[in-house]
Amino acid sequence: MEIQSYFSSLDSLDGELATLNLGPTHPATHGIFQNVLKMNGERVVSAEPTIGYIHRAFEKLAEHRPYNQITPITDRLNYCSSPINNIGWHMTVEKLARIEVPKRAQYMRVILMELARIADHLICNSVIGVDTGALTGFTYMFQERERIYEMYEEICGTRLTTNIGRIGGMERDFTPAFHQKLRDFLKTFPERFEEFNSMLERNRIFMDRTIGAGPISAERALSYGFTGPNLRACGVDYDVRVMEPYSSYEDFDFIIPVGTQGDTYDRFMVRQEEVRQSLRIIRQAYENLPGGPYHADVPAYYLPEKPDVYTKMEALIYHFKIVMGEVPIPKGEVYHAVEGANGELGFYLISDGGRQPYRLHFRRPCFIYYQAYPEMIRGAMLSDAILTMSSLNVIAGELDA
């Protein structure tokens, strides 16, 4: 009754509330999740999210896989920015096995992670554009994302589920084609991105639709465990890259953009600025890319060169042991967090010395902040609720694990 009296009965159609199923397969939800909405006319009175439609038991699977085979599982968390997940996982294992990764590999990883962040933010922000009625920007930004995917292809051979890098470093060095593509990207992308930005940033229709839509206060956001751009839009400058720098992030000069209102417009603006900052980081990392090896000298963890496997006994032994999951794994507990595209992506790993983790828990930012959604859209128009969801950038893979 308390919720029903939220609006005067004069506003409701015939004094009755309608129940509306938003999803699970509705194009506006950008993924498979359901919200059962209680509607008063066009306003949302309450929402009941149902999730788990693409739950694939990653934590259970991870207890039955050797460490190197868990990387492809992490691909499928936030599949808009798989390299961040992959590299976050590698760093967790490296923390457990106390492997020091050479500087070149760290910089290479930074470049890839920031490319992934750009790709992720491009999708999120251009989709906010789509949901406000501006489809054009999306089609152009998808071409830019395509170029990032082509760069992934040069590094790992795949595009979406990347399985990028290896425990101990990178699988291969940057290829000449990658260098060419990255230089090309750094040259032409900023202009196209600013063009996209100018379409929306001061666009009256866009501003009217997004300012004040789905706001959340910094205090509530913290209580709800928000991290990443969604938290920064509320004005809290928490960023794992700065708080606990990993992979040499301390070497780079960049700022953490923050918003003030925590609404859809601020989330959009924070992501836009983060794209520019990511470009800055990529430039710095690429210009100062150190020489040297692209992986640590850890034959027990890192696969030997294939020709060596056929000709050298030692390489053959290591190859066999790694493929069979027989790598030395210390006992212990580690937590490692990286700044995923949506916030703090944490890996809590308990090892009992076995070839597979005893327990692996993923701290998935999407899962954690999506529970604030009913509170954020209560009393809002349905169209704002759609917009709020797309600006939260809920990725079903990360949500359901």
What angle separates helix 103-131 from helix 382-392, to the nearest 10 degrees? Answer: 170
CA-CA distance, 317 to 107, in Å (whole number)? 30
Is 211 in contact with 382 (CB distance < 8 Å)? Answer: no
CB of 364 to another protein, least distance (A): 9
Nearer to another protein, 41 or 354 (CB): 354
Which parts of this chain interact with another protein (CB under 8 A)?
A: 51-52, 55, 57, 59-61, 64, 66, 95-96, 220, 222-225, 238, 243-244, 324-326, 330-337, 344, 346, 348, 350, 352-356, 359, 361, 363, 367-368, 370-372, 400-401
The residue (of 273 and 400) whose beta carbon lies closer to another protein is: 400
Q: Which is nearer to another protein, 142 or 335 (CB)?
A: 335
CA distance 326 to 387: 48
Give helix then strand counts, H and E, for the chain. Answer: 17, 6
Report which DSSP code applies to 24.
S
Q: Round to whole Å and give the CA distance between 97 and 332.
A: 10
Which lies closer to another protein via its Cβ, residue 222 or residue 316? 222
Task: Rank residues 308 and 326 by Cβ distance to another protein and give the closer one.
Answer: 326
Closest approach of another protein to the CB of residue 318, in Å:
15
Give min distance, CB of 172 to another protein, in A. Answer: 28
| Least Å from the CB of residue 52 to another protein | 4
Q: How far is the CB of 355 from another protein (least distance, A)?
A: 6
| Residue recorded with tokens 């190197």 | 68
- Beta carbon nearer to another protein, 71 or 210: 71
Helix residue ranges per DSSP H, 157-263: 176-200, 204-210, 218-223, 228-232, 240-243
- Residue among 280, 331, 282, 324 at smallest CA distance from 303: 324
Residue among 10, 102, 29, 55 at smallest CA distance from 400: 55
Least separation in angstroms between residue 37's CB and another protein is 17
